[in-house]
Structure 1
Amino acid sequence: MPGTAPPLPESAPSHPRPPSPDPAPEAEQAPAPRRPGARALRTHFGTFVGVVILGALLWRLGTGVLLDGLRRIDTATVLVALAIGLVTTVLSAWRWQLVARGLRIRLPLGAAVADYYRALFLNAALPGGILGDVHRAVRHGQSAGDLRRGVKAVVLERVAGQIALAVFAAAVLPTLPSPVRADARDLVAPLALALAGALAVGLAVRMNRAPSRRAGRLGTALGEVRRCLMSRRNGPGIALSSAVVLAGHLATFVVAARVAGSAAPVAALVPLAVLALVAMGLPLNVGGFGPREGVTAWAFGAAGLGASTGVAVAVVYGVLSLVASLPGAVVLAVRRYAADPQCPRAEVSNAKYGSKDSARLASSAFPFSAEPKEGRPMTPDSV
């Protein structure tokens, strides 16, 4: 009929919906979270090993000789440790300054000495034995406006000290009486030949290989090492400072041996001290305690001087090193006081200075604060 709507179909065709994709497996959606326990174990593994070594030694050998050695530390011994620490710290800071100069980063000697004292105290007080150096590197890099060069300066400064120790050990261990004298003599020739062969192979590969980006980076890094550590301008000073610093560590070890009651001659103590210093470089310690005590106990026992005496000497050495680093605690306290916003020195009247000037003056309380001048990066100007 006209005016009547056409009838609707009985069933309208339906459009099928596309099948929804299957949810991805949980393993593909997100990586499994790491267990915090495993991360904490990796972080504190070195500290745990150091505590275990020290505890095992004290349990096996007893604490009688150790406590007797600690009781013998008197005022004169403390003053000697502070005096030796002053010389070694100033020379180490000078070495750091020379390396920084090779990297074209200014570092005043006063600021370097204060920061080095603080790093030594943090190394002795905190687990791991390197956190003070890490803080020193980051602080200097940030203040200089170049974190990479700041970290590199600290790394190269520490490498210079390790090179001096390695050279001295290679000269002393095969010649002076020590538990490793025979082994050291047997290893000198193979190590020398291996080093010469490695240098020859590296030189041949470098001469016959086309230049590449990686080779360019390696050449740049080697050039920086050569300029910082072996140049005519820096090399003599770094060698002299490293020799004096090493001599200071050896003198502290001899003093610790005398305090602990050992009457062994200096010629017999020097190679044992070298072994102890090598063990201190292992990152498995608590402020230096741990492998040093183990190696010293073994060395003294093998030399016929008594393993318990070796533990006592190593612990007394650690205590004297901590005493020598105590000026770093003063530096840390002074800087924390200067950085306190409630400190009267940090308060600046807004009536006299604007907001930017006030912030600049407040930040100048930090020893590594400076304004860039003449296009130079920010550098530490005061302690």
Structure 2
Amino acid sequence: MSRRVLALLRLLGGLLVLGVLVWRFGTGPFDDAWRVTTWGSVAGALLLTGLATVANAWRWRVIAHALGVPLTPAGSVAAYYRSQFLNATLPGGVLGDAHRGVRHGRDAGDLGAGLRATVWDRVTGQLVQAALLVVALVVVPTPLRVWAPVVGAGLGAVALLTAWLARRAGSIGVVGDDVRLLLRPAVGGRVVAASCASTAAHAAVFLVAVSAVGVDASPGLLATIALAVLVGSAVPLNVAGWGPREGITAGIFALAGLGSSTGLTVSIVFGVLAAVATVPGLLVLLADTVLRRRRKATLSPTRELEEARRG
């Protein structure tokens, strides 16, 4: 019941944000977004998202191997595409990851470890994004620099919590064990590298959206905004990815002096590109369905023969 209530709150939260944006800006930014989205930008998003997916799958494999539930390269990429498609089409934005973790855990014979690998995959990726945002806010001279202490304080609190968990035992000992494993240089270094590659690719998709809209700003400012939007998009109150991302982007563009309406248009284009780029996940789902039906067709005669022998 609590999970259903939480899922409903996430859905309502996303709908509320979208409703407020439409009430505040009208449908103009949505019309503009559809007008400027081109096949060239879609192709670029497909390519860049493919690179990000490969990097994310690598990070997932590294973590899963450390937790004792290894994955194959091809299987991890296919599963990641499937989870991204489900995240982009179902409310909440996390159901695809939940499905990925459960399926991995069952296939590996350890449901708990499979779920933990997926959770750590998401958490570590978002932490690296936040760290890159702090670096950009401090290094790049932009109007957003004033927010560096706030983001840095939040990241510092997470670091302190991580250090505390790494020393705990008892009921949360499993979390502490996982943290110690992930902090090993051989594991942590590859996780950070994969996360940086993924973040760069997703930020590039955002810059494709910015270019399509025709925003005129310095590369440093746009890169910083891209990182801020990626971090803000992690808020799990959305409708298939839509909602907080649009509100956050509009707010960040306003803070940067680029106009909130422009930011909303960019966010809509980004959302369209990100959603279309997950279409390979649909192909994975269709392939799963075909394979399942073939297995059932193969097993059915065998079962009938066994039942006939048993009388």
TM-score, normalised to structure 2, is 0.88
Matched, 1:294 2:247: yes
What one-letter code is carried by the residue in structure 2 that aligns with 1:305?
A: L
Alignment match of 1:109 (pick from 73, 92, 99): 73
Equivalences for residues 231-310 of structure 1 within 5 A: 231-310=184-263
1:333-372 matches, cutoff 5 A: 333-340=286-293, 343=294, 346-347=297-298, 350=301, 355=306
- Stretches of structure 1 lacking an aligned partner (at least 5 in a row): 1-35, 207-213, 357-383
- Structure 2 residue aligned with 1:325, among 278, 281, 287? 278
Alignment root-mean-square deviation, CA: 3.0
Q: Which amino acid aligns with 1:121?
A: F
Residue deviations 1:122-148 (CA, integer Å, cap 9, x gap): 000000000000000001111111100
| One-letter amino acid of the counterpart of residue 224, structure 1 | D
- Contact 1:114 1:328 (8 Å CA) reproduced: yes
Task: State how 1:45-194 maps to structure 2 within 5 Å.
Answer: 45-185=9-149, 188=152
**Identity rate, percent:** 40
Match of 1:225 in 2: 179
Counterpart amino acid of residue 174 in structure 1: V
User: Shift in Å at residue 355 of structure 1?
Assistant: 4.9
Larger radius of gyration: 1
User: 2:298 is matched by which residue type in structure 1?
Assistant: E
Output the CA distance in 1 between the equivalents of 2:106 and 2:276.
29
Equivalent residue, structure 1, for 2:266: 313
Change (3 A) 1:187 1:311: closer
Cα deviation code 1:71-118 (max 9, x no counterpart)? 222221111111001111011111111111001112111111111000
TM-score by length of 1: 0.72
- Contact 2:88–2:275 at 8 Å: present in 1 too? yes
Asked whether the 8 Å contact 2:86–2:95 carries over to 1, the reply is yes
Q: Does the 8 Å contact 2:144/2:255 carry over to 1?
A: no
Distance in 2 between residues matched to 1:51 and 1:176, nearest whole Å = 34
Structure (1 or 2) with the greater helix fraction: 2
**Structure 2 Cα separation of the partners of residues 40 and 271 of structure 1:** 36
Aligned mates of 2:76, 2:155 — CA distance in 1: 36
Which whole-Å CA distance do the structure 2 matches of 1:95 and 1:78 have between them?
Answer: 25
How far does the alpha carbon of each residue in 1:300-348 deviate from its partner, in whole angstroms, 9 at most, with x for none? 11222111110011111111111111000010011112212xx499436
SS of match in other structure, 2:169: helix
User: CA separation in 1, counterparts of 2:82 and 2:190?
Assistant: 23
User: What runs of 5+ residues in structure 2 fail to find an aligned partner?
Assistant: none
Aligned counterpart, 2:169: 215
SS of 2:64's equivalent? helix
